[in-house]
Amino acid sequence: MALKVGDIIKFERAFTIEDVELFTKISGDEGSHHINPDEHGRLIIQGLLTATLPTKIGGDNNVLARTMNFEFLRPVFTGDRIICEVTIEKLEKQDNRTSIAASFLCRNQNEKVVLKGNFSGVIR
């Protein structure tokens, strides 16, 4: 599928306790809220783990990122269903590559925006 300006690409996932434990080990982000469950047995997911949602869409389209901007608006908990929508804002052919710019919104199962931002890069 060739990308076009205006395309909206959606991706959805829920993070597990195991995901948070693995990311904690890899990142070293050992804040107590990532290790100790709340009264409902949930962990708060690291912001940068949540930020992997739009990077997955970039990866699916072979984007080499140059800039990424994130605004973390609400906590995301294990078990939350997060829907990420990436909107293609710019595609510009340049020699043997395409410059891309996109924005994204991530919402939880209650339609609350938890993360928003944008990225730019190139597709070879």
Q: What is the pTM of this model?
A: 0.90
- CA-to-CA separations, 106 to 2, 9, 26, 28, 38, in angstroms, rounded: 23, 12, 23, 24, 23
| Residues 36-53: tens digit of each pLDDT | 989 999 999 999 999 999
Three-class SS of residue 108? coil
Domain 8-14+45-123, CATH: 3.10.129.10
Tell me the pLDDT tens digit for each residue of 62-103. 999 999 999 999 999 999 999 999 999 999 998 899 999 999
Question: Taking 90 as the threshold, does the pLDDT of residue 21 lie above it?
Answer: yes
Q: Is the pLDDT of residue 34 over 60?
A: yes
Q: Where are the domains of the chain?
A: 8-14+45-123
Contact 56, 83 (CB under 8 A): no
With a cut of 80, say whether residue 116 has pLDDT above it. Answer: yes
What tokens appear for 59 in the block? 């990866």
